[in-house]
Amino acid sequence: MEALFSAGTAGVAMTLPSRAQDVLAPPAQAAIFLVVTVRPGSEDDVLELLSDVAGITRAVGFRAPEDELSCVVGVGAELWDRLYDAPRPAGLHPFRPVVGAEHTAVSTPGDLLLHLRSRRLDLCFELASQLMRRLTGHADVVDEVHGFRYFDERDMLGFVDGTENPRGADATAAVFVGDEDPAFAGGSYVIVQKYLHDLDAWDALTVEEQERVIGRHKLSDIEIPDALKASDSHVALNTITDDDGTQRQIVRDNMPFGTVGAAEFGTYFIGYAADPQVIEQMLQNMFVGAPSGNHDRILDFSTATTGNLFFVPTADFLDDPSGVIPDAAASSGAAEPATSADDSLGIGSLRKNGP
């Protein structure tokens, strides 16, 4: 069964699409999530940074290659329109809030996502510092979360977080765009949300009550049988199937985070998918209910404070979008991007003239 708060692809061995970003990197010991907004007039500076992210990541990670530093970059819908004179990827749009009778999945500002992972937090921190130094005066951090592995892959609620991610070829199929949007094949979509937990209320429950909320046994991590599982449990409401019974899958890389002094404890949800509608349906089930009114019981203890949707282009696209964007325009029937005075089609001609 699927669950929104579930992450990890330990032991995965697969062939990734050519020059895809490190979406399917192994589970990390540490992560930094940066969501930033880009100031008007800074589009060219951001494009230059995007083409340099891979090189900066290699330079920082070269100090300790065994610690597997990586950085995934996602671009939001509104920034996409500012950067490129071409259609968006088919599934890219601003994150849509999901309003239920009792709980809401909020939509918050965000133009870029930087998802940094490693076995060491200092490497993530150094890379984050180098990237943001390049964005000084051009972008503002609107959310920053430092995540960490918590014991045996557990979340702050005490349950194992990393059981049901697809693996191998199934993981590749779940996260990477294919022939359905050929101009952006090898890319992915990512939705992020920061959830804050009311641990006092949660810890007041018995273990059996907590297991009913999640749909799994706490100690063993074994899923409760369908016949006994509560219809409003987290696992039940996050199982998405097609009409033929095929289960729709995503890959999550959630991380716990917290600040003891502020008594702030939470889970940073990050889900990658070839089609963002899979995650959006999960959120609909959670917040509105399936059926309506049967909302996810975990939301009585966990509040979503952020919400963003980004497209994760291939590494080739970040290096040079000119090789992809004309194909995107042609496949959609859109007008050809404007050429320069010498009829060339360099990257500059793909950029918006102003914000």
Q: What is the pLDDT of residue 324?
A: 63
Is 211 inside any structural domain?
Answer: no
Is 15 inside any structural domain?
Answer: no
The closest alpha carbon to 143, from 68, 34, 287, belongs to 34
Is 192 inside any structural domain?
Answer: yes
Per-residue pLDDT tens for 137-192? 999 999 999 999 999 889 999 999 867 899 999 999 999 999 999 999 999 999 99
Phi/psi of residue 23, nearest 5 degrees: -60, -40
Phi/psi of residue 122, nearest 5 degrees: -65, -35
Q: What is the signed CA dihedral for 347, 349, 350, 355, rounded to 10 degrees?
A: 110
Is residue 319 flagged as an active site residue? no
Is 12 inside any structural domain?
Answer: no
Q: What is the pLDDT of residue 246?
A: 87
Write down the catalytic residue from 161, 181, 275, 296.
161
Phi/psi of residue 302, nearest 5 degrees: -135, 125
**Do 187 and 311 touch, CB atoms closer than 8 A?**
yes
Residue-range definition of the domain harbouring residue 145? 30-197+250-288+299-350
Per-residue pLDDT tens for 78-136? 999 999 988 999 999 999 999 999 999 999 999 999 999 999 999 999 999 999 999 99
Is 49 inside any structural domain?
Answer: yes
Per-residue pLDDT tens for 47-89? 999 999 999 999 999 999 999 999 999 999 999 999 998 899 9
Is 271 inside any structural domain?
Answer: yes
Is 241 inside any structural domain?
Answer: no
User: With pLDDT > 70 as the criterion, what percentage of the chain qualifies?
Assistant: 85
Show the tokens assigned to 87. Answer: 């259609």
What pLDDT band is residue 351 in, cutting at 50, 70 and 90? low
Per-residue pLDDT tens for 297-315? 999 999 999 999 999 999 9
The closest alpha carbon to 5, from 110, 155, 208, belongs to 155
Show the tokens assigned to 310. Answer: 């980004």
Is 325 inside any structural domain?
Answer: yes
Q: Structural domain tally of the chain? A: 1
Model's pTM, two decimal places? 0.89
Mean residue pLDDT across the chain: 89
Q: Residue 338 pLDDT > 70, yes or no?
A: no
**Do 205 and 213 touch, CB atoms closer than 8 A?**
yes
